[in-house]
Amino acid sequence: MTKRQVTFSKRRSSLLKKAAEIAICCDVDMLFVAFSPAARLSKFCSQNRFCIYNFEIYRMNILLRSIKQLA
């Protein structure tokens, strides 16, 4: 495990906690997406279908970019 992976794993939980806190305190729909150095996905979404829908669009855009880069 590299130093970056260790740092990310230590900070990931506090980042997700802060995202939840902002969503509750500000009464907003929140979507937080982070990829670790090992390319693992961490996400937080406040309980709203709009967030989940936007996350799916985000994933599709990433997939399309990856396909275009391979071509």
Alpha-carbon distance 36 to 6, whole Å?
Answer: 10
Structure confidence at residue 50 (pLDDT): 66
On whether the CB atoms of residues 44 and 18 are closer than 8 A, the answer is no
Could you tell me the pTM of the whole model?
0.60
Based on the structure, what is the number of domains in the chain?
Answer: 1
Distance (Å, rounded) from C-alpha 68 to C-alpha 53? 23
Interval 15-69: pLDDT, tens: 989 988 998 999 888 888 887 777 777 878 887 666 667 777 777 778 777 777 7
Residue 18, pLDDT score: 92
16 CB burial (10 A radius; 0-12, 13-18, 19+): middle
Which structural domain range is residue 13 located in? Answer: 3-70
- The three-state secondary structure class of 40 is coil
CATH number at residue 61: 3.40.1810.10
Q: How much is the pLDDT for 51?
A: 67
